[in-house]
């Protein structure tokens, strides 16, 4: 591999982000039409209407936030039970050419919660544990449904913010149907065909034996496409997107990073269209892009600097141990930043092998609450919580009325925003503390062992799914605590933001006046970035100081 050229890599990264921005703008117009009901024509329209007849609903039957949240929880509860049962019965079901037995109950519980919550945290190795039926009817189906759930919540929150004097924010069943039928299925199908053309396998063959080696086969392209597009992240193989059957070329590496960012990047612009002010959408997008670009640059610089302890051994150049050598430093940094800025968690390199400061970047991105760009849907409604907090604090500081889109921010909205912003962080601190107090719960001693445990609970509580792989998370504590963290980290903020949307929808809008804080200005963008960093910094600075920062100081001092 040739030495990286930082200038050329910076240009390439800028072009990549320009492509993402352009595609997001185009997709946002389509998404706006989808959820306004303007594309229900032809065969997809007939399928949509047939689904409504089957479940007994229609787009005209909208609900308040309580009804929306109830349907959301019921649907995902049924999905959990179905996947849990499938994994327990796997050994007796078809499409299992390798004869894999049933998942043990704790692993099945953790995996079912993981995929239903869009986390895809895996304490099992897919190619030696899961049948083709479990991969397709279980994991891949939930990849679609969990992503559609997040997208539906985001659209409902947008309605709540932009509607006036109503208690209705939409119909969950209609939003789910449109999310899958018009967005996720067609884009994932196109992506799967593109990936398959580049060498990602798609078959139902038995595993191939070549001498002492067994080569896993399976329906990989169809799962990889939606795991990335839906910011799910669970790999068909244990190596995830570092496996050549999931990510065979530099082209697929860029395509996969692009798919991860596509829908989350489009949602701020959808909001701008629904609000009738694209400036509002651009402001939120600018906050996301600013933090993402800074994180990508920091990760690239940390890995470019390498490990001085390796240099002392006479090994020149950057450290590529555990990295994606086919894609080089930029490809590795781009994928790592994208997958942790969103709630994807797919990896093309082992994050545990990053340098201490390099590994701190994806950890920080996750700890910030995955708002940059966040998961499909979850990124938008989480950053909306930060918008409410930022507006309220700014109003208190400068003596202006806390308003957003002409609606007053009051105590009820603040409570829901605080739940959204703080619940994942509380889970990380609480469960990491318990883990550190338990004997044998840390994978390694010292600062790196602390980083592994904190990263694990940050990943689960924020529904990311990636890991510092030096931690053994297969025991009962991590299986149960992880399931709890994933469920609460997913549904507590979701329900809180639906409640906030319901409250905002009932308010009347007032024209902006001299006391109104502009929320689409560069100054507010800078204020939002500061609020997000302050919340993350104040909450997690001690953990970061004792973990990756301490490890870096030890490395730099040759300890």
Give the pLDDT score at 2: 61
Classified as helix, coil or strand, 174 is helix
Residue 293 lies in a domain: no
3-class secondary-structure state, position 440? coil
Cβ proximity of 436 and 450 under 8 Å: yes
Q: For the packed helices 250-275 and 141-162, what is the interaxial angle rounded to 10 degrees?
A: 30
Rounded to an integer, the average pLDDT of 400-427 is 90
pLDDT for 228 equals: 96
Which two tokens mark 132?
Answer: 């083709």
Mean pLDDT on 150-171? 95
Confidence of residue 5 (pLDDT cuts 50, 70, 90): confident
Report yes or no: 136 and 236 within 8 Å, Cβ to Cβ.
no
pLDDT tens digits along 296-307: 999 999 988 877
How confident is the model at residue 384, as a pLDDT?
95
- Of 44, 491, 528, residue with least CA distance to 288: 528
User: How far, CA to CA in Å, does 285 sit from each of 33, 248, 388?
Assistant: 20, 31, 16
Q: Residues of 289-321 as b/e, b for ≥16 C-beta within 10 angstroms?
A: bbbbeebbbbbbebbbebbeebeeeeeeebbbe
Residue 472 contacts residue 443 (beta carbons within 8 Å): yes
Q: What would the mean pLDDT of 210-228 be, rounded to a whole number?
A: 92
Q: Is residue 285 part of a domain?
A: no
Over range 237-243, report the average pLDDT: 90
pLDDT at residue 200, rounded to an integer: 96
Q: Is the pLDDT of residue 281 over 90?
A: yes
What CA–CA distance (Å, rounded) separates 347 from 336?
7
Cα–Cα distances (Å) from 288 to 26, 282, 362, 533, in that order, read: 18, 10, 15, 12
426 occurs within a structural domain: no
Tokens found for residue 409: 């921010």
Element (H, E) at 334: helix 328-341
pLDDT tens figures, 526-551:
999 999 998 877 888 888 899 899 98
pLDDT tens digit sequence for 8-67: 999 999 999 999 999 999 999 999 999 998 887 788 889 999 999 999 999 999 999 999
Contact of 233 with 378, CB cutoff 8 Å: no
Average pLDDT, the chain: 91
Q: How far is CA 96 from CA 92, 115, 130, in A?
A: 9, 20, 8
- Cβ contacts of 18 within 8 Å, gap of 6 or more: none
Q: Report DSSP letters for 108-164, one per residue.
A: HHHHHHHHHTT----SS-HHHH--HHIIIIIIIHHHHHHHHHHHHHHHHHHHHHH--
pLDDT at 185 over 80: yes
- The pLDDT value given to residue 317: 66
Q: Residue 265 domain-assigned?
A: yes
pLDDT mean over 226-235? 93
Residue written as token pair 């327990």: 88
Calculate mean pLDDT across residues 170-186.
96
pLDDT at residue 351 greater than cutoff 80 = yes
In the beta sheet, which residues pair with residue 170?
63
Q: d(Cα 555, Cα 360) in Å, to the nearest integer?
A: 14
Other residues' Cβ atoms within 10 Å of the Cβ of residue 275: 17
Per residue in 83-130, pLDDT (tens digit) is 999 999 999 999 999 999 999 999 999 999 999 999 999 999 889 999
Sort 390 into a burial class: Cβ within 10 Å, 0-12 / 13-18 / 19+: buried
What's the pLDDT score for residue 273?
Answer: 96
DSSP state of 401: B
Residue 515: pLDDT over 80: no
pLDDT reported for residue 397: 81
**For the residues of 246-304, what is the DSSP string, one character each?**
TS-SHHHHHHHHHHHHHHHHHHHHHHHHHHT-HHHHHHHHHHHHHHHHHHHHHHHHHHH
Helices (H), strands (E): how many in the chain?
A: 21, 4
- Give the pLDDT band (50/70/90) at residue 513: low
Contacts of 239 (CB under 8 A, 6+ apart): 246
Q: Is the pLDDT of residue 81 over 90?
A: yes
Confidence (pLDDT) at 400? 74
Residue 468 included in any domain: no
In a domain, 418, yes or no: no
CB distance 477 to 438 below 8 Å = yes
Percent share of the chain, pLDDT over 90: 70
- pLDDT computed for residue 430 by the predictor: 94
Which domain range does residue 170 map to? Answer: 6-273
> Rounded to 5, what percent of the chain is helix, strand, coil?
65, 5, 30
Report the chain's terminal Cα–Cα distance, integer Å.
30
HEC per residue, 21-68: HHHHHHHHHHHHHHHCCCCCCHHHHHHHHHHHHHHCCCCCCCECHHHH
The pLDDT-based confidence of 514 (bands split at 50, 70, 90) is low
- The confidence score (pLDDT) of residue 318 equals 73
Position 439 pLDDT exceeds 90:
no
Predicted confidence at residue 307, as pLDDT, reads 77
pLDDT at 316: 65
The pTM of the full predicted model, rounded to 2 decimals, is 0.94
How many domains does the chain divide into? 1
Task: Look at residue 282 and tell me if it is in a domain.
Answer: no
What is the structure's pLDDT at 559? 54
| 536 occurs within a structural domain | no
Contacts of 454 (CB under 8 A, 6+ apart): 363, 428, 432, 540, 543, 547
Query: Is residue 558 over pLDDT 60?
Result: no
């Amino acid at each position: 591999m040739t030495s990286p050229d930082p200038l050329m890599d910076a240009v390439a990264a800028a072009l990549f982000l320009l492509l993402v921005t352009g595609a997001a703008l185009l997709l946002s117009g389509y998404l706006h039409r989808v959820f306004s009901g303007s594309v229900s024509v032809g065969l997809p329209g007939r399928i949509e209407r047939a689904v409504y007849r089957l479940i007994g609903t229609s787009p005209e039957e909208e609900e308040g936030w309580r009804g929306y949240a109830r349907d959301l929880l019921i649907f995902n509860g049924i999905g959990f039970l179905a996947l849990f049962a499938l994994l327990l019965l796997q050994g007796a079901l078809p499409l299992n050419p390798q004869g894999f037995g049933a998942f043990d109950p704790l692993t099945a519980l953790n995996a079912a919660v993981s995929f239903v919550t869009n986390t895809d945290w895996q304490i099992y190795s897919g190619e030696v544990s899961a049948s083709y039926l479990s991969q397709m009817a279980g994991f891949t189906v939930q990849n679609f449904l969990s992503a559609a759930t997040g997208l539906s919540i985001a659209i409902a929150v947008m309605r709540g913010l932009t509607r006036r004097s109503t208690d209705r924010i939409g119909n969950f069943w209609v939003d789910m149907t449109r999310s899958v039928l018009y967005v996720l299925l067609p884009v994932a199908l196109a992506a799967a065909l593109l990936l398959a053309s580049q060498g990602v396998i798609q078959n139902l063959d038995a595993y191939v034996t070549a001498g002492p080696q067994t080569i896993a086969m399976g329906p990989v392209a169809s799962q990889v496409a939606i795991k990335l597009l839906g910011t799910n992240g669970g790999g068909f193989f244990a190596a995830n997107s570092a496996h050549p059957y999931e990510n065979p070329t530099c082209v697929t590496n860029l395509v996969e990073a692009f798919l991860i960012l596509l829908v989350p990047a489009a949602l701020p612009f959808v909001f701008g269209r629904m609000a009738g002010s694209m400036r509002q959408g651009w402001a939120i997008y600018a906050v996301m892009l600013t933090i993402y670009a800074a994180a990508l640059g920091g990760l690239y610089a940390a890995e470019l600097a390498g490990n001085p302890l390796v240099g002392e051994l006479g090994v020149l150049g950057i450290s590529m141990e555990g990295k994606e050598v086919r894609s080089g430093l930029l490809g590795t940094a781009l994928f790592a930043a994208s997958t942790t800025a969103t709630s994807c968690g797919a990896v093309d390199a082992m994050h545990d092998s990053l340098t201490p400061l390099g590994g701190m970047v994806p950890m920080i991105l996750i700890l910030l609450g995955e708002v940059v760009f966040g998961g499909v849907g979850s990124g938008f409604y989480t950053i909306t919580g930060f918008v409410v907090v930022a507006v309220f604090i700014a109003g208190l500081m400068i003596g202006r009325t806390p308003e957003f889109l002409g609606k007053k921010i009051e105590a009820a909205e603040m409570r829901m925003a605080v739940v959204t912003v703080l619940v994942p962080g509380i889970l990380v601190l609480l469960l990491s503390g318990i883990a550190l107090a338990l004997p044998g719960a840390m994978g390694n001693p010292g600062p790196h062992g602390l980083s592994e445990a904190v990263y694990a609970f940050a990943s689960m509580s924020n529904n990311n799914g990636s890991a510092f792989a030096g931690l053994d998370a297969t025991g009962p504590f991590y299986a149960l605590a992880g399931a709890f963290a994933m469920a609460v980290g997913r549904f507590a903020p979701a329900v809180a933001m639906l409640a906030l949307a319901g409250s905002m929808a009932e308010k009347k809008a007032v024209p902006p006046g001299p006391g109104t804080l502009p929320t689409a200005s560069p100054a507010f963008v800078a204020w939002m970035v500061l609020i997000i960093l302050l919340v993350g910094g104040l909450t997690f600075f001690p953990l970061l100081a004792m973990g990756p920062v301490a490890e870096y100081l030890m490395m730099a001092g040759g300890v």
